Amino acid sequence: MAMKAAEVAKGVNAWAEKQTKGVIKEVLPSGAVDNTTRLVFANALYFKGAWNDKFDASATKDHDFHLLSGSSIKVPFMTSKKKQFVSQFDGFKVLSLPYKQGEDKRRFSMYFFLPDSKDGLPALVEKAGSESDFLNRHLPLQKVEVGEFRIPRFKISFGFEASNTLKGLGLVLPFSNEADLTEMVESSAAGSNLSVSSIFHKSFIEVNEEGTEAGAASVGVIALRSLLVAEKIDFIADHPFMFLIKEDLTGMVLFSGHILDPSQAS
């Protein structure tokens, strides 16, 4: 049985790696499948987008990135002198970097939420999570002239067992003895005896001069507005910030996270 469990885990991991073009490896850790396992759910998401306006790699230079601990490190920062989608709000700024549009006409963008204060990320995360419709009310709609403009290159990988998080959000039934998974299996008798024990999630995202590669196992009309003040806006992401990748027509968020240290891959 142990050999069969190892084969199942190997098969699921191979499937996830293939579906994410090699980005996600070993979504199921060692020991995740054993002789009590009867059903494995698998989901994979892969995203690779090229910036609409790519960064000049020759302009990338090392600068200080300030950590929440108060220390700083040197990391490579990308820069550009082109106009950018940037808006300034109370206590933070938001940058939108659009990706090239594909044949299916969907529009994807990456958003950077940068607190004004170098240690302001925790408060910004709390604000974003507690205010209704925070995201849609804080989107830059027009390109503006930028003064100093720098964002770090980064690559992160993150994995965790998600069952406790989901239970904390109120998703309890699938993990209980009252779970009814009969629609997911061929035998209704077998389905009545199944419940979810663990959910493993793993994600990866890389941002560089070319664009973004990422993996994880409503139509709006935008009207341009004239600016009352033509002052240049600085956007220097040299301290912890939030980011997300969103499809702009539907509003669907594909990936979200925060960067505490761009030099750390996990």
Residue 122: what residue type? P
More confident residue, 6 or 117: 117
Rounded to 5°, angle at Cα 202 from 171 and 179:
25
Q: Tell me what pLDDT residue 231 has.
A: 74
Check: CB of residue 167 under 8 Å from CB of residue 253. Answer: no
Give the pLDDT confidence of 11-47 residue by residue, as tens digits: 888 888 888 888 778 777 777 777 777 667 777 777 7
Q: Tell me what pLDDT residue 3 has.
A: 56
Give the pLDDT confidence of 174-184 residue by residue, as tens digits: 777 777 777 76
Q: Tell me what pLDDT residue 222 has.
A: 22
What are the E-state strand segments in 99-189? 108-115, 143-144, 146-152, 154-161
Q: pLDDT tier at 265 (50, 70, 90 boundaries)?
A: low
- In this predicted structure, the answer to whether residue 263 has a pLDDT above a threshold of 80 is yes
In our burial notation (b when 16+ CB lie closer than 10 A, e otherwise), range 166-199 reads eeeeeeeebbeeebebeeeeeeeeebeebebeeb
From residue 166, how far is each of 45, 75, 153, 176, 217 by CA, in Å? 19, 35, 31, 13, 16
| Greatest mean pLDDT range, 56-60, 212-216, 246-250 | 56-60
CA–CA separation, 248 and 120 (whole Å)? 27
Q: Tell me what pLDDT residue 175 has.
A: 76
Mean pLDDT of the chain: 81
Domains of the chain are 1-42 (no CATH), 48-154+218-259 (2.30.39.10)
Q: Tell me what pLDDT residue 179 has.
A: 74
From residue 62, how far is each of 72, 77, 89, 217 by CA, in Å? 12, 6, 28, 32
CA–CA separation, 11 and 13 (whole Å)? 5
Give the pLDDT confidence of 131-175 residue by residue, as tens digits: 888 988 999 988 999 999 999 998 877 777 778 887 888 888 877
